Amino acid sequence: MLTTKILFGSNLLNAEEFRFLLSGPAGEIKVLINPTNWISENAWPDVYKQFYGMSLTLPAFKGLDEYFMKKP
């Protein structure tokens, strides 16, 4: 908590990114087929939802989900 207060006070922490870190993606997300052999099928839905949610919500990560699907 102290670190986040310091970072917010110094404008070094983006409020949208921090909120996403705490809550994760919202809503229903259609999970695509796992393009990797190193992410388990059990973990893949959560990984994809994070990438997709970041891509939609956070400007710094726009297109991350598409890039990952092309170059896993």
Residue 3 belongs to some domain of the structure: no
| pLDDT for residue 27 | 85
CB 35 within 8 A of CB 72: yes
What letter would DSSP give residue 12? Answer: -
Is residue 68's pLDDT more than 90?
yes
Residue 2 belongs to some domain of the structure: no
Residue 7 belongs to some domain of the structure: no
| pLDDT for residue 46 | 94
- Residue pLDDT, tens place only, 15-61: 888 998 899 888 889 999 999 999 999 999 999 999 999 999 899 99
Q: How far is residue 36's CA from residue 38's CA, in Å, rounded to a whole number? A: 5
| pLDDT for residue 26 | 84
Residue 61 belongs to some domain of the structure: yes
Q: H helices of the chain, where? A: 2-9, 15-23, 44-57, 64-70
Q: Which residue range(s) make up the domain with 63?
A: 14-70
Number of independent structural domains in the chain: 1
